[in-house]
Each structure stands twice: as structure tokens, then as C-alpha cells.
Amino acid sequence: MSRLPHGIVSLVCLLLLTSTVAAQGIAQRNILDIPGMDSKEAIKVNDHIYQAVGFGNTYLIKTKEGNVIIDTSNGAFATKHQTMLRKISNAPIKYIIVTHAHPAHVGGVARWREKGTEVIAHTNYPKFRDYQRRLFGLFERRNAAQYALPSFMVKRAQEEFLKPEFDATITFEKEYKFNLGELTFEIYHSIGETQDQINVWIPELKAAFIGDNMYETFPNIYTLRGTEFRSPIEWMASLERVIGWEPEVLLGSHMLPLQGKEEIKKKLTHYRDAIRYVHDETVKGMNQGKDVHTLMSEIKLPKELAIGEQYGRLTWSIRGIYEGYVGWFDENPSTMYEVPVSAVDKDIVELAGGPDPLVKRAKDLSAKGESVKALHLLDIVLRTHPSHADALQARINAYKGLLERSVNVIEQGWLKFGIRQDELTLKKSMSNPSSAKN
């Protein structure tokens, strides 16, 4: 098999992780596009720490005995980051610390790795990479859908991340410590966005590297791409450890440096408390016998815990918590069986007198701003009449209505996917008028 050119791999790596969020002519900022991504110079945090900003930041820590790299961004930024940070210091790279196995963190490992460089990760790092290999086809399909990329390009990019040169040389269970020059590096297993997440503490600098365990938006306790259960209990415990360090510098993978002991404590505490509130309210509702959709509708963060939902979303997190604890069964005996709800779609359409009355009702719902209800009706119609032109156009319009109101980059990606799919089907339908009502 021919190798995909590095520049194309880099582009795909970037697109796999950040979407273009211009919504049908409406400019929308991606919360993960942090200021400085286009900079040609690294940020000096202090005399030891330098940050190269990207979709996944890269950190260089200088010591008298050589350098340490914490995370390496993705393939699209790795070369640029290396050039920027090599201007700061060309000393040997003694260690690369990978906070977890997402591509935005490991994409430059092979580029930074030198003879004798140790690559440090948690023992779950190879397990997580095995998980990605095991579900390779699913992630290929979902990444291609969410980011509007050809499947073969996604496949090649994913293969790139799973090559042996990205493997770790040192793994650990709970904690790992080493000294290099004048600095101590304390590394702790810190479950949060992934099971292999680690945080790094340099006590001499009062600096904490938090990886993906904190964003400037509500976290992805569940992500639509698909993920293993992300335990809020363990995530909160990881945050509490960092709070206990009393850091004066906080460095994350998708944000600019935070400085100031009190401000950092305030932000970390707020973040932990927002996660706790959503978790505790979900568990309370489960014990009261409320179904997951009721909880998704009812649970809102109180004003004092308000946090943006440009990346993670409360409703997805609530469902992720619910099903993470007890799985998919909803106490309704009819869902025990292999026959899906969609099996009665044809009966519903017949009882309605055909698809047209359902399409009309869906349009009325969309006009009143009830686009999701409209989508449910249109799904029924299009599962039974997949080429029905009026239903396809109505569903495209409902998607677009939701897209105009969306502030969440992941939601936008899937709405755009729905629009692309239906526009393609509609085009085929209109080229064959006899199928337009079928």
C-alpha cells in the first residue's frame, strides 16, 4: 500500500480533531481554536517552561541536564512546534511524557524521539491504543462523518497514529517520579477524559500539567464519537489532587497558561463542582425512577456553576453517566427484545394516511422551533420512504434550524453530516422523479 504524503496526513490529523464551524454562512468560533495557534513563536511561561500552541499544545521544559517534552500535539502541528521549541533549546530530549493516547497528544512523538529518549505513559496507554485498533472501522466511519473527510484519508491518518514508533518505553500504574537536573517530575494516574490520563507536577516550579482534564467549557463526559465510560467520580478525584498541590501555574492541552494560585484554585474548584452537580443530580434522578430523557430535560447547572457547552454538553454527559452506571435497559419490557421501535414505522405511516400528513406536521413543528420533534417524525417517514423529496428537504431544513442555534462544535459536525447525507439523497431523488414520493 502506498504511503499517504506527510502533508496530507497532517491535514487529516488536524481535521480529525477540529471542525470548520462556519454554519451555513454563520461564523461560529471553535472553543478549541485557542489564541496563538498561528503564532511562529513559543510562549515563555517561565525560565524553564515554554508552550507551543496548537490543537493540542506542546510543552518544553528545560533543565541543566537536558529537556523534557510534555505532549507533542497532532501531526498537523508537530513539525511547527518542534521548530518553534528548538529555537528555545537544542539540548537532548531526555523524556517525552504523553498525558494520554488521543492523537492531539501523540502526533509528534516519533518526530521528537531521539536515541535514548524515554517515552512515559500510563499502563492503560497501550490498552487504549488497543481499544482504538479494535474499533478502527467504527472510528474511521464516525470521524469521516463528523469532519467531512474521505474514508480512505481517515483510515491512513488513524493508521499513522497506531504505528510502533508511538509506543511508550516506560509505563506505570499509580505514580512515577524522576529527577532531571534541578527539577523533579512527579507523574500521577489521573483518570478523566480517558482511562490512561496522567497529570504532571513539578514542585520546584509550582507547575501542574493537567492534560485534557480541564477545558474552558464543560467537559466531554461522553463524546458522540464514542468512548469508554468516563467516570465523573474519578475525574473529580483527579481534579482534587491538582487543587491540593496549590499550583501557581496551570498548563492544559487545549488552553493558554493560567497563573496565580487563587485564580487557579477558583477555576479548578468551579470545574470540579460543575461535574459533581451534574453527576449527583443524575444519580439522584436515577434513584427516584426518572428515565434518562427526563433527566436530560430537567438537569441544568445553577447560575453560580454556569460554564459553556461549546465542547462538552450537559445532556450527553447526563446520558453517558446514566448508561455508564446501568447500561441501556430502561425498565420498559418492550425494549428487552431485538425488534426495534422502527419496526412499527410502516404501521404509523399507514395509520396517518401516508407520509404526507406526517411531513406536514413535521414542518409545522419546525416552524414553531420544535426541530427535534420534527426530526423524529421525519425519521419515521424516511425509514419507510427513503427517497421522499419533501421529507428530505424538511429534514435538511430542521437540521439547518438546529445548526443556526448551535454553539457546540461536535453537535455542529453531526448536523452538517446529516445535511450532507440528505442533500446527496435528495439530488438523486430529484434526478429520478418517480422515486421522489417513494
Return the closest-CA partner of residue 69 out of 77, 79, 59.
59
Return the closest-CA partner of residue 394 out of 413, 375, 411.
375
Question: What are 143's three cell numbers?
Answer: 470521524
Mean pLDDT, residues 277-292 taken together: 98
- Residues 116-125 have pLDDT tens digits of 999 999 999 9
Q: What is the rounded average pLDDT for all residues in the chain?
A: 90
| Class of the CATH-defined domain 338-435 | mainly alpha
Higher-confidence position of 333 and 15: 333
Under the banding of pLDDT at 50, 70 and 90, the label for residue 437 is low
In this predicted structure, the answer to whether residue 38 has a pLDDT above a threshold of 90 is no
- Residues 186-200 have pLDDT tens digits of 999 999 999 999 999
Query: Quick check: 5 and 12 in contact, CB under 8 A?
Result: no
The proportion of the chain whose per-residue pLDDT surpasses 70, expressed as a percent, equals 90
The proportion of the chain whose per-residue pLDDT surpasses 90, expressed as a percent, equals 75
Return the closest-CA partner of residue 277 out of 232, 309, 234.
232
Give the C-alpha distances (Å, rounded to integers) separating 428 from 375, 387, 392, 397, 431.
21, 8, 11, 18, 5
pLDDT of residue 27: 39
Give the residues across from 66 on adjacent strands: 63
Rounded CA separation 67/43 (Å): 16
- Residues 73-115 have pLDDT tens digits of 987 788 999 999 999 999 999 999 999 988 888 889 989 999 9
Under the banding of pLDDT at 50, 70 and 90, the label for residue 438 is low
Listed in order, the ranges of the chain carrying CATH 3.60.15.30 are 6-270
pLDDT of residue 35: 76
Q: Looking at the whole model, is its pTM more than 0.85?
A: yes
pLDDT of residue 10: 42
Which residues are CB-neighbours of 156 under 8 A, at least 6 positions away?
A: 4, 8, 9, 12
Write down how long the chain is: 438
- Residues 164-173 have pLDDT tens digits of 777 899 999 9
Angle at 17 between CA 16 and CA 23, to 5 degrees: 90
How far is the first Cα of the chain from the last one, in angstroms, to the nearest whole number?
Answer: 42
* CATH entry 3.60.15.30 includes domain 6-270: yes
- Residues 415-426 have pLDDT tens digits of 999 999 999 999
Angle at 238 between CA 16 and CA 250, to 5 degrees: 70
Query: Which residue has cell 453517558?
Result: 320
pLDDT of residue 358: 98
Listed in order, the ranges of the chain carrying CATH 1.25.40.880 are 338-435
pLDDT of residue 21: 33
Question: What are 381's three cell numbers?
Answer: 417517514
pLDDT of residue 26: 34
Question: What are 61's three cell numbers?
Answer: 521544559
Angle at 43 between CA 42 and CA 49, to 5 degrees: 100
Rounded CA separation 330/324 (Å): 13
Query: Quick check: 378 and 356 in contact, CB under 8 A?
Result: no
Half-sphere exposure of 79 (CA within 13 A, CB side): 9
Under the banding of pLDDT at 50, 70 and 90, the label for residue 156 is confident
pLDDT of residue 32: 56
Give the C-alpha distances (Å, rounded to integers) separating 158 from 14, 129, 141, 150.
12, 11, 11, 13
Half-sphere exposure of 438 (CA within 13 A, CB side): 8
- Residues 377-406 have pLDDT tens digits of 999 999 999 999 999 999 999 999 999 999
Higher-confidence position of 38 and 218: 218
pLDDT of residue 12: 45
Give the residues across from 176 on adjacent strands: 187
